[in-house]
Amino acid sequence: MHVHRVWTETTFGRVALHTAYPWRMCRNIRQLHNFEPPATPDEVHAAATQYVRKISGSTKPSQANQAAFDAAVEEVAAATQRLLDHLTTSAPPKNREEEAAKARARAQARYAS
């Protein structure tokens, strides 16, 4: 297992050590494939927004960058929807409520005192 230790400067000028796991996806972007019911357009758009925020390094772009940010979100959302429409699997669809309960249990274990 190869783990990267990364020092970054925070907004307030403090330096923080982060552990980067290159094989892990951003925790804010959720899997959308193979769920019943299928992902909604709002979920696809939210994932696209999170992706563009992550790669741009900005949660709220400046007015000068707003149009480029919005265009990128729309393009990523369209590409994501096309991908979801074309993916196939032989696995049975996952139940959203069961997966959410598993995620809550993992979070509770992770953040337990």
Is residue 26 in some structural domain? no
- Domain assignment present for 7: no
Q: What is the pLDDT of residue 92?
A: 95
Q: Is residue 15 part of a domain?
A: no
Within-domain flag for 86: yes
pLDDT of residue 14: 57
- Please report the pLDDT score of residue 30 as a whole number: 82
> Whole domain around residue 68: which residue ranges?
34-111
18: left (phi over 0), alpha (psi -120 to 50) or beta: beta
In a domain, 81, yes or no: yes
Statement: the pTM of the whole predicted model exceeds 0.75: no
Average pLDDT over residues 45-69: 94
Q: What is the number of structural domains in the chain?
A: 1
Evaluate if residue 13 carries a pLDDT over 70.
no
Amino acid of residue 19 = T
The pLDDT, as a whole number, for residue 18 is: 52
Q: How far is CA 78 from the centre of its chain?
A: 16
Does residue 14 sit within a domain? no
In a domain? residue 68: yes
- The percent helix, strand, coil of the chain (3-state, each to 5) is 45, 15, 40
| Sequence-ordered list of residues with C-beta below 8 angstroms from that of 29, at least 6 positions apart, any chain | 47, 50, 51, 54
